[in-house]
Amino acid sequence: MNKYVQVEKVQMAFETKKGKFVALKDVDLGIDQGEFISIIGHSGCGKSTLLNLVAGLIDATGGALFCAGREIAGPGPDRAVVFQNHSLLPWLTCFDNVYLAVERVFGRKEDKANLKKRTKEALELVGLGHAMYKLPHEISGGMKQRVGIARALSMQPKVLLLDEPFGALDALTRAHLQDELMRIVAALGSTAIMVTHDVDEAVLLSDRIVMMTNGPAATIGEVLEVNLPRPRDRLALAEDARYVHLRGEVLQFLYARHKKEAA
Amino acid sequence: MTVVSIKQVRTGEDLSEIVVQKTIHEPVAAEKPVVSEVKSKLINVKAGLEFFVKRILPPILGLMLFVMLWELIAQRSENLPGPIKTWASAVELFSDPFYDNGPNDKGIGWNILNSLERVGMGFGLAALIGIPLGFMIGRFAFFSGMASPIISLLRPVSPLAWLPIGLLVFKEAQPAAIWVIFISSIWPMIINTAVGVSKVPQDYMNVARVLNLSEWKIFTKILFPAVLPYMMTGVRLAIGVAWLVIVAAEMLTGGVGIGFWVWDEWNNLNVEHIIIAIFVVGIIGLLLEQALLLVAKRFEY
């Protein structure tokens, strides 16, 4: 029963001017170490809320969350977040943005040379060795998101949390970064939770897809196992019957059973 | 009549500037065929003319009108000196700005420097206390709750109302004047810094929370750089207020300074000097503002 990441009977309510708004209700989810989970649903279904709860950026109003056997109480570098809008500090170079994280996590145990080495390795891992000393406004959106991923990975988190990480990127850059992320996560054996509204992205990257019902009081509708062998290749999969079937399952859930009324 | 001739000289200068601009462009055009050379020359002339009409002409026209109006009023008034008389007086005054005939008769240069020193002291102390205070108020809701009633209460008070308290506490004119500058220029710095802190994007603060950064790291790596532009606005407003207040403060406290100098010249009925002082105060205020704008530009991301 005790999974690496455990979400038990979680409820999240917000106080609004119109009274209490229940965003999430009775959310139960267990995630194994090394698993890649996608959370998909229509906008407003509370999928980002669920991610923020695991990150500890907000506190659940009911139920409990655990990570590696310990209750989640507040944010911490063991649950690194890749933010949708990259959230790089504009006055720091790519190197310094990552170094800030590395220094925080390893600064007590390691000397400066080691910290710099870790920072460099993280940036090289995402293919940004050449742009290390550039400021965020000097690089493209895709590169910024790479730095965001490098920053999160450099902390060697127990869980990698990705909040629509490629949502703001163009389709070509997105595909490229998805492949990169797949390669990196496979190489590091990371546990990851990704919020997305891109069906292909979810099927391509995930071991399981968590599909959310529509809010208010949203909860997990279905969990879909993606038993496609890894490494996965997007070109080969496009023709693969299993891939097409899985993709169809998610679309069925989103547009037939839980169609969102036009907002 | 001479006024007109001065104006003509000024517009003449501006025309010569445009001519210089044209000659700069000419070598580039010379490499091209004759037709396009003529064309580009025409474009240059047109651009120069447009620049002149849009940027140079309006301020000159405005100043000319202002001086003419001044002259008109001066002609109808017995005591108000006209622009020419004032100009002559200014030339004489600035020919020897740093003479020293005892404490009550010093050159205009000394007066300006003394005023600047007081403003610098009062403003510097205000920055030293106001900016950290602004950070505390912006960062911690508890401090904000403590400070905001006091700020709302004291901020609208006229700067000169603080002078008696200063005189009472310090028992001397010099620190009392500095005190008035301090108390009147501290508010914009506190408020702008605090607003800047509250405007730091939540995304950056979320990064700080996920990384569990120490309060010191949050300050040096996130808060300070993010707040800097707001802080600079506060500093700019504060120095404006400080320079605004110094004349009035010195009129009341005396000593060497541009404010006291105005009062002294009023007692001597030397109205030209008062007008000169007004211009001097205005020009120095403008220069301070422009200098700080330049500094602020360096901190934009």
What pLDDT shows up at residue B23? 41
The answer to whether residues A135 and A163 belong to one domain is: no
Structure tokens at A58: 């907000």
Residue B80 CA to residue B271 CA, distance in Å, equals 7
List the single residue in A with minimal CA-CA distance to B227: A91
Which residue, chain included where needed, has tokens 């990150």?
A55
Amino acid code (one letter) for A15: E
Collect all residues of chain A within an 8 Å Cβ-Cβ radius of residue B212: 75-77, 104
What pLDDT shows up at residue B34? 65
Q: Are B185 and B128 in contact (CB under 8 A)?
A: no
Q: Predicted confidence band at A19 (pLDDT cuts at 50, 70, 90)?
A: confident
Collect all residues of chain A within an 8 Å Cβ-Cβ radius of residue B222: 89
The answer to whether residues A211 and A108 belong to one domain is: no
Q: Which domain holds residue A111?
A: 86-156
Calculate how close chain A gets to B300, using CA atoms only, in Å. Answer: 9
The answer to whether residues A52 and A117 belong to one domain is: no
The answer to whether residues A240 and A186 belong to one domain is: yes
Q: Last residue of a domain, which of A139, A156, A173? A: A156
Residues in chain B predicted with pLDDT less than 50, given as ranges, are: 1-31
Q: Which of B210, B221, B222 sits opposite A75 (nearest CB)?
A: B210
Rounded to the nearest 10°, the torsion over CA B107, B113, B116, B117 is -130
The answer to whether residues A21 and A52 belong to one domain is: yes
* Ranges of each domain in chain B: 2-76, 108-297
What pLDDT shows up at residue A161? 96
Distances (CA, A) of B232 to B96, B126, B224, B299: 36, 14, 11, 9
Outline where chain A has alpha helix (H): 47-55, 94-106, 112-125, 141-154, 171-188, 199-205, 234-239, 241-252
The answer to whether residues A55 and A126 belong to one domain is: no
What contacts A196, CB < 8 A, 6 or more positions away?
A38, A39, A40, A164, A166, A167, A202
The answer to whether residues A164 and A262 belong to one domain is: yes
Which residue, chain included where needed, has tokens 């920055």?
B127
How many domains in chain A? 2
Collect all residues of chain B within an 8 Å Cβ-Cβ radius of residue A76: 210, 212
Structure tokens at B99: 């003479």
Q: Which of A81, A85, A89 sits opposite B222 (nearest CB)?
A: A89
Calculate how close chain A gets to B136, using CA atoms only, in Å. Answer: 22
The answer to whether residues A217 and A118 belong to one domain is: no
Outline where B79-172 has alpha helix (H): 83-95, 108-139, 141-154, 163-170
Q: Last residue of a domain, which of A156, A176, A199? A: A156
Which candidate, B199, B194, B196, B200, places its Cα nearest to that of B148?
Answer: B194
Q: Last residue of a domain, which of A105, A135, A156? A: A156
Structure tokens at A151: 């920053």
Asked if the peptide bond before residue B83 counts as cis, ω within 30 degrees of 0, the response is no
* Dihedral sign, Cα of residue A82, residue A88, residue A89, residue A93: positive
Look up the ipTM and state it. Answer: 0.87
The CATH number assigned to the domain with range B108-297 reads 1.10.3720.10
pLDDT in tens, A181-225: 999 899 888 999 999 989 999 999 999 999 999 878 899 999 999
Q: Do A89 and B210 touch (CB under 8 A)?
A: no
The end-to-end CA distance of chain A, in Å, is: 39
- Strand, helix or coil at A192? strand
Residue B92, class by beta-carbon neighbours within 10 Å (0-12 exposed, 13-18 middle, 19+ buried)? exposed
Collect all residues of chain A within an 8 Å Cβ-Cβ radius of residue B301: 90-91, 137
Distances (CA, A) of B125 to A75, A94, A206, B51, B219: 39, 37, 59, 43, 22
CATH number of the domain bearing residue A66: 3.40.50.300
Which residues of chain B are at the A interface, by a Cβ-Cβ cutoff of 8 Å? 203-204, 206-207, 209-213, 217, 221-222, 225, 301
Calculate how close chain A gets to B298, using CA atoms only, in Å. Answer: 12
What pLDDT shows up at residue B4? 40
Q: Are B133 and B144 in contact (CB under 8 A)?
A: no
Collect all residues of chain A within an 8 Å Cβ-Cβ radius of residue B207: 83, 87, 89
Residue A45 CA to residue A56 CA, distance in Å, equals 19
Q: Do A75 and B217 touch (CB under 8 A)?
A: no
Q: Do B210 and A100 touch (CB under 8 A)?
A: no
- Strand, helix or coil at B103? coil
Q: Do B207 and A55 touch (CB under 8 A)?
A: no
Residue B16 CA to residue B4 CA, distance in Å, equals 18
The answer to whether residues A125 and A231 belong to one domain is: no
Amino acid code (one letter) for A140: S
pLDDT in tens, A122-162: 999 888 999 999 999 999 999 999 999 999 999 999 999 99
Residue B288 CA to residue B271 CA, distance in Å, equals 26
Q: Are B126 and B189 in contact (CB under 8 A)?
A: yes
The answer to whether residues A124 and A203 belong to one domain is: no
Q: How many CB atoms lie within 10 A of CB B78?
A: 5
The answer to whether residues A124 and A12 belong to one domain is: no
The answer to whether residues A175 and A246 belong to one domain is: yes
- Strand, helix or coil at A32? coil
- Strand, helix or coil at B207? helix
| A21 beta partners | A14
Distances (CA, A) of A253 to A219, A248, A249, B201, B289: 14, 9, 6, 36, 62
pLDDT in tens, A79-105: 999 998 889 999 999 999 999 999 999
Q: Do B221 and A92 touch (CB under 8 A)?
A: yes
Structure tokens at B98: 């740093």
What strands, in cross-sheet order, belong to the sheet with A220-225? A79-82, A159-163, A191-196, A36-40, A208-212, A220-225
